[in-house]
Structure formats: structure tokens, C-alpha cells
């Protein structure tokens, strides 16, 4: 623009730049002063920050900064602090008598909180995040227990699981009555009608009467002569309206014909004894927990 005097915009008094697009021209407005100062301050701040804090990635690592701040070290320290504060409670949880845990508010709260966290991580995939269960997975909030609802019974179930490779796992096997040729299709239909009847649903009395005989010969050894189940073999009560696999005729027929015999993992080798205790206290606290005496019959807790 040598030689030419700049064009000045008559409205703003600001210089107009050379270029033009379709009749639109641009004012050459200078950057405001305050902006320059802020920019300058940021530059100075940045230099200070590089010196004080970890900042520049280098082939040999990164600049550590003069105050030695490290997010990783903070996390490690926080975790160590947490473990330290938990230690006394954790050791109390381990040494306390099972039946005393719920009487001591501090240990109890600690156990329920860590049990809840461990439950979300390990048990929720099968039992649901609120332990409400699902088809084939028992609800742990109610007082209907397959194997027992006392603290020690629950602890035993969690420690060794059900129908798995653990030598101390809880075990029992309902036969697949139709598949294994123990009952004919007609006998299965009869006993299904009987189970339908004793569970309080509408049933054909004549068929159920025949079914009662089949039940007496094949089912009472586990489900009891009154059909109310037996915890020593994990056999469910068939007279309540609570079903693990469904209480309609088709579901019951499926169970009797082919059996279910589902399994639950053993946790002894995966979770610490303190975590298992916390889980037991948590599950026991959900609403269906029973006192110790009610634990019998059933395998003894370790």
C-alpha cells in the first residue's frame, strides 16, 4: 500500500483494508488493549506453570515440575490412607463373632457398605443390582431361602457356592424325571397338577389326586411330605407362591421333566474372607435374614 493513503471508514473512523468480496469490505480494527494484557498474563502464567507442575512430554519421560505433584502418587496415597482407616474395622469384622457383628453399629455399617459395593461388582450380574433376583436366580431380599438365611448359612453359600467344582460346594441334584425315564409323560402331568394344587393355584382335583401318589413316591425325599422343601438339599418350598423357575404348568413340567440344577460360583478363591463376611452381612441385612438357630438343618458353616 506504499504511496497510497489508507481509506478511512466514515462511520467508525477505522481504516478499511484493501480486499473486497462482492462489495463487502473489512475494517482493520486493532485488538483491544485488555485482550493483549490478558494474553500476555496467560503467557507468563504458562511459563510459571511449566516450571512448577509436570508439563512437557519428553522422550526420556516428562518434566516433573519443582513441587513434585503427581496424580498417580496422590491416588496411591489416598488408597493407602483408605486401607489404613479401614484396617481396624476390617480386622474387627474378621475377628468378631458372626452373631455379634450386627450388634456393633460401627462394624455393621462398615460391613454393609463394603458388602453392597462387592455385591454390585460380583453378584449383580446374576442376582440383580438390588439382589431382587431373576428367573433362575433367587431373590435375596425375601425370607424364602433355598439353603438357609442365617448369617452363617449365607456365608457358607457365598464361600463355596452351589453345584460347582469346589469340594465344599452345596450340592444336590433333582433328577430329570422324564428324560431319565423315571416317570412317564402321564405321571409327570399328574404330579405337575398336584404341585399346581399345593401351591394354591386352581387345579383339577382328580388329576392332582393321582399326582399326589407320584409325589409321595418320588418327591418327598427332597421336597418333604408337605411339599415345603428341605434346606439340607436346597429343595424349594413348593407351597408358597415364590418360584425360581416359574409356577405355571409349562414351567413346572419343564422343571420336573428335565430338572434345572443351576449353579453358583464358589468365591473362596476370588474374594478375601473379609469381603465374603461383608457380603454375608449385607445379604443378611436385606430383609430376609434369619437368626442363627434357624440355620439348621443344613451343612455347618466353616
Answer for which of 123, 207, 286, 295 binds ligand HEC (CB under 6 A) is 123
C-alpha 25, offset from chain centre: 65
Q: How many residues bind ligand HEC (CB under 6 A)?
A: 49
Report the distance separating Cα 143 and Cα 158, nearest Å.
Answer: 17
- Using the rule CB under 6 A, is 203 a contact of ligand HEC? no
CB atoms within 10 A of CB 195: 25
Q: Is 282 exposed, middle or buried (0-12, 13-18, 19+ CB in 10 A)?
A: buried
For the chain, how far is it from start to end, CA to CA, in angstroms?
95
Answer for which of 203, 264, 286, 301 binds ligand HEC (CB under 6 A) is 264
Nearer Cβ to ligand HEC (89/238): 238
Q: Least distance from C-beta 184 to ligand HEC, angstroms?
A: 12
Answer for which of 151, 252, 278, 281 binds ligand HEC (CB under 6 A) is 252
Q: Which stretch binds ligand HEC (CB under 6 A): 35-43, 61-69, 92-100, 146-154?
A: 146-154
Q: Which stretch binds ligand HEC (CB under 6 A): 66-74, 76-84, 254-262, 290-298?
A: 254-262
Residues 6+ apart with CB under 8 A from 75: none
- Using the rule CB under 6 A, is 145 a contact of ligand HEC? yes
Residues 6+ apart with CB under 8 A from 257: 176, 177, 178, 179, 188
Q: Which stretch binds ligand HEC (CB under 6 A): 21-29, 32-40, 93-101, 230-238?
A: 230-238
Residues 6+ apart with CB under 8 A from 212: 194
Give the H or E element holding residue 202.
Answer: none
| Greatest extent of the chain over all pairs of C-alpha atoms, in Å | 118
- Using the rule CB under 6 A, is 298 a contact of ligand HEC? no
For binding to ligand HEC (CB under 6 A), which residues are involved?
A: 119, 122-123, 125-127, 136-138, 140, 145-148, 154, 157-158, 162, 172-174, 177, 191, 195, 215, 218-219, 221-223, 233-236, 238, 243-245, 252, 255-256, 260-262, 264-265, 267, 279, 283
Amino acid at each position: 500500500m506504499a504511496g497510497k493513503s489508507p481509506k478511512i471508514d466514515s462511520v467508525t473512523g477505522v481504516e478499511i483494508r484493501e480486499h473486497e468480496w462482492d462489495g463487502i469490505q473489512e475494517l482493520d480494527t486493532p485488538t483491544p488493549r485488555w485482550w493483549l494484557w490478558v494474553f500476555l498474563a496467560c503467557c507468563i502464567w504458562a511459563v510459571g506453570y511449566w516450571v512448577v507442575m509436570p508439563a512437557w512430554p519428553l522422550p526420556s519421560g516428562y518434566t516433573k515440575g519443582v513441587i513434585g505433584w503427581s496424580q498417580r502418587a496422590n491416588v496411591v496415597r489416598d488408597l493407602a490412607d483408605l486401607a489404613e482407616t479401614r484396617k481396624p474395622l476390617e480386622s474387627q469384622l474378621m475377628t468378631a463373632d458372626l452373631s455379634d457383628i450386627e450388634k456393633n453399629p460401627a462394624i455393621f455399617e462398615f460391613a454393609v457398605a463394603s458388602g453392597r459395593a462387592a455385591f454390585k461388582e460380583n453378584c449383580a450380574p446374576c442376582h440383580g443390582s438390588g439382589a431382587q433376583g431373576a428367573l433362575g436366580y433367587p431373590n435375596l431380599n425375601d425370607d424364602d431361602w433355598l439353603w438357609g438365611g442365617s448369617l452363617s448359612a449365607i456365608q457358607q453359600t457365598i464361600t463355596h457356592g452351589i453345584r460347582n467344582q469346589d469340594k465344599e460346594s452345596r450340592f444336590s441334584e433333582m433328577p430329570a424325571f422324564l428324560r431319565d425315564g423315571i416317570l412317564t409323560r402321564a405321571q409327570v402331568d399328574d404330579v405337575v397338577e398336584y404341585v399346581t394344587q399345593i401351591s394354591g393355584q386352581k387345579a383339577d382335583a382328580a388329576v392332582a389326586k393321582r399326582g399326589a401318589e407320584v409325589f409321595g413316591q418320588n418327591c418327598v425325599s427332597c421336597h418333604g411330605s408337605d411339599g415345603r422343601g428341605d434346606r439340607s438339599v436346597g429343595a424349594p418350598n413348593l407351597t408358597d407362591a415364590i418360584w425360581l423357575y416359574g409356577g405355571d404348568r409349562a414351567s413346572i413340567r419343564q422343571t420336573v421333566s428335565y430338572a434345572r440344577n443351576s449353579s453358583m460360583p464358589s468365591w473362596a478363591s476370588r474374594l478375601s474372607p473379609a469381603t465374603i463376611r461383608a457380603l454375608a452381612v449385607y445379604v443378611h441385612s436385606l430383609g430376609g435374614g434369619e437368626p442363627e438357630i434357624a440355620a439348621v438343618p443344613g451343612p455347618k458353616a466353616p
